C-alpha cells in the first residue's frame, strides 16, 4: 500500500513538473519529462519527488497547493520558465522565499528531471 502511494505521488510530481516547467511550450510534440517502466518512474522523477518532500512540502504542502506559510506552486509556477524556477529554488525570492544555495537541496531542480 505504501509503495503504491509513493508511486502515485511520484507520478503526480512528474506531471506537476511537466505542467510547471513546460507550460509555455504547450503545443510542442516534446516527449514527457518522465518515463514509467514496470510501474516505476525514472530516477529523475523519483528524485524530484524525494527532494520536494524533503524540503518544499513543509511550506507548500504535500500536493503543492500552498499553505498559510507559502503560496500554491500550481499557480505560481505556470508563468516561470526553467531558468526562473531554478533561480528561485537556489536563491529564493525577495518577498521571503528561502533559497537553498547553501544547502544540499541546491541540485533539487536540476536533478528532479525538470525540463528533460
Give residue-wise pLDDT tens across range 89-115: 888 776 665 665 655 544 444 444 444
Whether the per-residue pLDDT at 7 is higher than 60: the answer is yes
Q: Is the pLDDT of residue 73 over 70?
A: yes
- pLDDT, tens only, 14-29: 667 666 665 555 556 6
From 32, 19, 90, select the one nearest 56 (Cα to Cα): 90
Distance of CA 106 to the CA centre of its chain: 13
Distance between CA atoms of 108 and 116, rounded to whole angstroms?
Answer: 14
Question: pTM for the complete prediction?
Answer: 0.52
Where do the domains of the chain lie, and which CATH numbers do they carry? 2-111 (1.10.760.10)
Amino acid at each position: 500500500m505504501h509503495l503504491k502511494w509513493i508511486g502515485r505521488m511520484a507520478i503526480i510530481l512528474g506531471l506537476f513538473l511537466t505542467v510547471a516547467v513546460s507550460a509555455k511550450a504547450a503545443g510542442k510534440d516534446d516527449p514527457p519529462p518522465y518515463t514509467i517502466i514496470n510501474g516505476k518512474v525514472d530516477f529523475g522523477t523519483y528524485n524530484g519527488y524525494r527532494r520536494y518532500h524533503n524540503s518544499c512540502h513543509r511550506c507548500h504542502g504535500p500536493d503543492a497547493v500552498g499553505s498559510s506559510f507559502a503560496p500554491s506552486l500550481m499557480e505560481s509556477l505556470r508563468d516561470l520558465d526553467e531558468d526562473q524556477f531554478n533561480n528561485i529554488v537556489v536563491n529564493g525570492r525577495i518577498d521571503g522565499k528561502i533559497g537553498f544555495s547553501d544547502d544540499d537541496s541546491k541540485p533539487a531542480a536540476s536533478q528532479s528531471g525538470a525540463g528533460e
